Amino acid sequence: MIDLQQSGQGLDGYPLLVAQLQALLAGERDFIANAA
């Protein structure tokens, strides 16, 4: 996971973090659907 403090972006990086999280969850959902 990305550490926003370490990247120096602060809250400006939050939308990117949310987008990455949504992409990760979508990937997990697809993986589960394919495994079922």
Residue range 16-25, pLDDT digits in tens: 888 899 999 9
Distances, alpha carbon 20 to alpha carbons 5, 26, 35, 36, in Å: 17, 10, 22, 24
| DSSP, res 8 | T
pTM: 0.50
Q: What's the pLDDT at 23?
A: 92
Both tokens of 9, joined, read: 């972006």
Of 1-5, 17-21, 32-36, minimum mean pLDDT range: 1-5
Q: Which residues of 5-34 are buried (b: 16+ CB within 10 A; e: fewer)?
A: eeeeeeeebeeebeeeeeeeeeeeeeeeee
- Average pLDDT score over residue span 4-25: 76
Domain boundaries, the chain: 4-34
